[in-house]
Amino acid sequence: MNGNLYDDTSSSPHLDEYLTQFEDWFRDWGDKEWENRILSSGAARLNEFGYDPFGMSPAFIRKVIPLVRFLYRGYFRVTTHGLHELPTTRLMFVANHSGQIPLDGALIAAAVAIEGRPPRILRSMVERWVPSLPFVSLFMSRCGQVLGDPDNSRRLLENDEAILVFPEGVRGVSKLFRDRYKLQEFGTGFMRLAVETGTPIIPVGVIGAEETVPALYNFRRLARLLGAPAFPITPTFPWLLGLGLLPYPVKIHLWFGEPMHFSGDPDDEDEVIDQNVEKVRSKVAQLIERGLKERGPFPFSLLGGIRP
């Protein structure tokens, strides 16, 4: 076993450790030095009014940090594995997508920002239908999330930024509970981009997010009517209306792999690109498999920390 690769950077919180966890959590709330460090990392590209070319506002992010910290430490009790030194150049995180509400992106970004060495702002590439949503699109773009267009990704990578992509796309988020942890097909766009821009890929396996909004059925027709990618029926949604879509507080583990490097011709035949895509996909699958094994059996696994 590659011990180095799977070293826990933060130990999983056992019951007696919860108190200290909460202490940490509150201390971090006031960690101005960390905030300044991360928020100044992209300062060079800010305009006179404090926005970057993609509409990100560090002043806005500063305001949502408490909320993100609450979700990260308090609600989902995120534990990261294998998140070590990060390169300071361009970087692409590739993860499995799940949970109907794409909170996995926010949590991975929070992990990289809070526990990355050095902390980095991760720009996740969002679904195409998001920019047409009022408030949501505004919130996302101020937080640094960007429409998942190849042109946008290329621009960010050429600026040596770190991006997060979900090559499963909507196929991943909207899958049903019974298909949890079944990795869907990957698109090839991310690989072409990584090869073209010479960007290392860090595979990420997300464990737990798949149980946060367990969809029993996807009401496709209604989804199409609403213009949404899916309309999930869960044990609580739509019965409790919007409240029912509130994700369950399942403990989430994020497993980070080692950076993978690819080279070649970005415009190569699909078959050639597919081979590389498959390497990343199987790496993510390995991380998920290992994560599930480590997490232990249902249902204690969802609470986290308690092992039989």
Partner 1 sequence: MSCIVLTGISGTIGRLLARQLHLDHEVIGLDRRDLPDRPKDIRVYKLDIRRKRCENLFRRHKVDAVIHLNIMHDFRKPQAELHAFNVVGTQRLLEYAARHGVRKFVFLSTANVYGAKPDNPQYLTEEALLLAGEGFSEMRSLVSVDMLVTSFFWKVPEVETVILRPAHILGTAANGPSAYLSLPRIPTVLGFDPMVQVIHESELVRAVVSSVEPGRRGIYNLAGPPAAPLSAMVKYLGKRTLPLPHSLLRALAQRAWQMGVAQVPPPELDFLRFPCLVDDSRARRELGFEPKLSLPQTLDLLRQSPTYRQGMKQG
Contact predicate 83/116, CB 8 Å: yes
Provide Rg for the chain, Cα atoms: 19
Closest contact distance (angstroms) between CB of 46 and partner 1 is 9
151 near partner 1, judged by CB under 8 A:
yes
- Residues 83-122: x where in contact with partner 1 by CB under 8 A, - otherwise, as a string: ----------------------------------------
C-alpha count within 13 angstroms, C-beta hemisphere, residue 128: 6
Least Cβ distance, residue 33 to partner 1 (angstroms): 27
Smallest distance from partner 1 to CB 27, Å: 33
Q: Please give the torsion angle defined by the CA atoms of residues 294, 297, 186 and 227, in that order, rounded to the nearest 10 degrees.
A: -130
Nearest residue (CB) to partner 1, 153 versus 212: 153
Q: Is 147 in the site for partner 1 (CB under 8 A)?
A: yes
Which residue, 228 or 285, is less far from partner 1 as judged by CB?
228
Please state, in angstroms and rounded to a whole number, the distance separating the CA atoms of residues 283 and 165.
15
Half-sphere exposure of 27 (CA within 13 A, CB side): 6
48 near partner 1 (CB under 8 A): yes
The only residue of 27, 49, 241, 308 in contact with partner 1, by rule CB under 8 A: 49
Closest by CA position to 247, among listed 98, 80, 126: 98
Q: Is 138 in the site for partner 1 (CB under 8 A)?
A: yes
Using alpha carbons only, give the angle 210, 212, 216 rounded to the nearest 5 degrees.
75
Q: Is 146 in the site for partner 1 (CB under 8 A)?
A: yes
What are the phi and psi torsion angles at 198 (to 5°)? 60, 45
Which residues contact partner 1 by CB under 8 A? 47-51, 53-55, 128-129, 131-135, 137-138, 141, 146-147, 149, 151-152, 155
